Amino acid sequence: MTLRGTDFRNRLWVAPMCQYSVEAQDGVATDWHLVHLGALARGGAGAVIAEATAVVPEGRISPQDLGLWDDAQVEALRPVTAFVRSQGSVPGVQLAHAGRKASTFRPWSDEQGSVPEADGGWPTVAPSAVAFEGYAVPREMSRDDVVGVVEAFRAAARRSVEAGFGLIELHAAHGYLLHQFLSPLSNERTDEYGGSLENRARLLVDVVRAVRAEVGDELPLLVRFSATDWAEGGWDEHETATVAGWSRDAGADLFDISTGGLVAGVTIPVGLGYQVPFAQHVRETAEVDTGAVGLIVSARQAEEVVAEGRADVVLMAREFLRDPHFPLRAAAELGVELDYVPAQYQRAPFRTA
C-alpha cells in the first residue's frame, strides 16, 4: 500500500497502545519504548504507531505518558524510529491531547481517577466544564486556549518529523480532547467551536490543516475517530463520515475507525470485529481510505476485512501484545511467502499451530 510518498509492505499495522512507562514524568522515551516498538517492527508489521503522545504537558493521559511538546524529547525518539525503519516498518506516532481525561493514574495503579496536584497531577481543560464520570471537573477553554491547541499540534508535528517518524495520526477518538469537541455530549459551547456540526468539527479540521501545512505534502496523515459514542444524542457514524470528508479535504489521508470512550456506563455490543462495520460505513459514505480495529484476532479474519473491501488497513493491538511476530505467523497461515523474515530467526520457521 502507498500513501502519498510512503510505501507500506503490508496492510497489517500496529495500533497505538499507551504504555504509561515514562520514568521521569518528563515525556521522554525510555529503553522500554525502544524494545517494545522495535520488537513489533521486527515482527513484520507494515507500520508501528507509537502511543498517544501529548502535544502539551497538560494533555497527557497520565504523568507517565510520552510527549512531543519540547525539543528535548525529540532526541530520545530518534533511536526508536531508526530501528523501526531498519526492520522495514514505517514508524508512526499518535499526537494527542487528553482534555478532561488527562492527569489520571495509570491503569495498574492502586488508585484510579484524577491524580491530585500534590501527587504530580494538574488541572484539566475541556471544551466545556463537564467532567468525565469519576474525574475532576475541567476548566472550560477560552478561545485563545483553543487556538493554542492548534499551534501545539503543529509544533508537535514538526518535532515528529525531526524525531524520524514517517506517519502521523491525530487522536480524535476515545473521549480525548478533539473527540470532546466533536460530541455534543461534552461540547456545550455557544461560540464558533460549539453547536452545529461544522462548529464542533472546527478544531479538528484546523488541526489537520495546520499539521499538513507543517509537514508538507509527502507525509501520510491519519485521523483516529470514535465513530459512535454508543449514547443517545451523541456523536455517531454519520457525523464521523461527514467530518472525515472535511478532514480529507484539509489534508488527511486515512481514517482509523474505533468507537466509544467519551462517556462511561454505556452498553457496547463487544464481539469479534464489532467495529469493522463503522470503518466500512465511513469508507463507503465519505469515499475515503479507512483502517479497521477492534477484536480482530486472526489472520483470516483480518484478510477478509481487506479482501471484502470493508477497510483498507487492519490495525491490531492486543494480538500484537500476545505475539509481536503475528504478521509473520499470519503470512504462514495464509500461504504467503515473505522476504522480510529476520535472518536471525530463520532457524525457527513461522508456521500455523
Please list the pLDDT of the chain residue by residue as tens digits (353 residues). Answer: 999 989 999 999 999 999 999 999 999 999 999 999 999 999 999 999 999 999 999 999 999 999 999 999 999 999 999 999 999 999 999 999 999 999 999 999 999 999 999 999 999 999 999 999 999 999 999 999 999 999 999 999 999 999 999 999 999 999 999 999 999 999 999 999 999 999 999 999 999 999 999 999 999 999 999 999 999 999 999 999 999 999 999 999 999 999 999 999 999 999 999 999 999 999 999 999 999 999 999 999 999 999 999 999 999 999 999 999 999 999 999 999 999 999 999 888 887 65
Are 194 and 224 in contact by the 8 Å Cβ rule? The answer is no
Burial class (CB in 10 A: 0-12, 13-18, 19+), 38: buried
Residue 101 half-sphere exposure toward CB, CA atoms < 13 A: 25
State the Cα angle at 207 between 212 and 17, rounded to 5°. Answer: 90
| Torsion sign over Cα 140, 238, 262, 291 | negative
CA separation for the pair 345, 300 (Å, rounded): 24
Return the pLDDT at 352. Answer: 61
For residue 262, tell me if it sits in a domain. Answer: yes
For residue 352, tell me if it sits in a domain. Answer: no
Q: Which helix (H) or strand (E) holds 225?
A: strand 221-226
CA separation for the pair 166, 90 (Å, rounded): 6
Are 117 and 123 in contact by the 8 Å Cβ rule? The answer is yes
Least Cα distance to 177 among 288, 66, 52, 49 occurs for: 52
For residue 140, tell me if it sits in a domain. Answer: yes
User: Count of residues for the chain?
Assistant: 353
For residue 169, tell me if it sits in a domain. Answer: yes
The single residue listed with the C-alpha cell 491519519 is 222
Burial class (CB in 10 A: 0-12, 13-18, 19+), 289: buried
CA separation for the pair 304, 346 (Å, rounded): 28
State the Cα angle at 122 between 120 and 125, rounded to 5°. Answer: 160
For strand 47-54 and strand 6-7, is the pairing parallel, antiparallel, or unpaired? unpaired
The CATH number of the domain holding residue 109 is 3.20.20.70
Quote the number of domains for the chain: 1
Are 291 and 41 in contact by the 8 Å Cβ rule? The answer is no
Are 224 and 256 in contact by the 8 Å Cβ rule? The answer is yes
Residue 157 DSSP symbol: H
Catalytic member of 135, 176, 193, 340: 176
Domain containing 308 equals 2-345
The answer to whether 176 is a known catalytic residue is: yes
For residue 226, tell me if it sits in a domain. Answer: yes
pTM across the whole model: 0.97
Return the pLDDT at 282. Answer: 98
For residue 321, tell me if it sits in a domain. Answer: yes
For residue 353, tell me if it sits in a domain. Answer: no
For residue 350, tell me if it sits in a domain. Answer: no
Assign residue 232 a region: left if phi > 0, alpha if psi is -120 to 50, beta otherwise?
beta
